[in-house]
A = this chain, B = another copy of it.
Amino acid sequence: MNKLKELLADLEPAIADIINQPGSPRAVYEPISYILSLGGKRIRPAMVLAAYKLYKEDYTPEVMQVAQAVEMFHNFTLLHDDIMDNSPLRRGQETVHIKWDDATAILSGDLLQIEVYEKLAEVGNVEILKLFNAMGRELCEGQMNDMQFEQMDVVSNADYLDMIRQKTAVLLGFSLQAGALLGGASAQEGKQLYDLGISIGLSFQLMDDYLDSFGDTAKVGKRIGGDILEKKKTYLWNEMWSRLDATAHQEIEAVYTKPEVEIIDFVKTKMDESGAKDYTLELAQKYTSKSLTALNSFDTPSGDKTYLEEIVKMLAGRES
């Protein structure tokens, strides 16, 4: 993890800079500072720098501004998603709409979004602005698909994969693409790195779904089985559902009247027996392999691949 640690150390002043929100009235700036200071892995700005390192060593102001912009945009989406999803907690702390109120969370989010574009205006690269906008549009579409899927009984895994591509992967794709372009990548290389970001995002999200049911509480850092109790339409759930017959569907529905421990055990058994468990893990690993193969064959005569390589492995190998 030495390479990632190095990137995070490089990012520290830039992150401190965006947490510092001196504007007035305080009521609209404090929530921005609050959500940005809750932490998180800072994986998106690290990916911007890692992609830049494929080409050059010494950062320009522009690459740091893009790193700030993606972290701010990610937090903007969290701020508004938490209202839409009615989530009370974020990283163990109260969400903005709970700590303050809905109106404050909406408005602080809107202002944070404008601050993202202030960073992009400082970068002053219209091509990167256009790529960012295309990404932002897809992310909004993905959030709407996600909300609609929660109201549906059955979601196909093709639709689900497309949704997580939009909701999670495109921002990782943009982070790599923009970092690379600022390092001097060609348009074609930029596109290859975007695709690499998509693979990383898909494997990350599939692994997330997998670990929520089959992870180790100590390693994952949260209670196991939350998705199952919510009947969340994850890849794992959809795959299980599509592999089972009507009788099994009824058995699953019936178990939801029982204690939580029994529900979780029963559904995990069905996920395992149906083959959905192994299939999901294999798919996540397939995307990780795809990412590493693409990175291996990527030609960077002047740069250093080890930063990005470490990030791919870290995101894939959170638990096995």
Contacts and interface: CB of A to CB of B under 8 A. Distances in A.
A32 to B, nearest CB: 10
A25 B145 contact: yes
A142 to B, nearest CB: 9
A8 interface: no
Given A129-B117, A133-B114, A140 B103 contact: no
A102 interface: yes
A141 B80 contact: no
Q: How large is the interface on A (under 10, 10 to 19, 20 to 34, 35 or more residues)?
A: 35 or more
A9 interface: no
A140 B76 CA distance: 15
A115 B107 CA distance: 18
A143 interface: yes
B121 A124 contact: no
A80 B130 contact: no
A212 to B, nearest CB: 23
13 contacts: A23-B137, A23-B141, A28-B141, A28-B143, A83-B103, A84-B103, A114-B133, A114-B136, A115-B137, A118-B133, A118-B137, A126-B126, A129-B129
A106 interface: yes
Given A25-B141, A27-B144, A141-B28, A84 B107 contact: yes
Interface string A233-251: 0000000000000000000
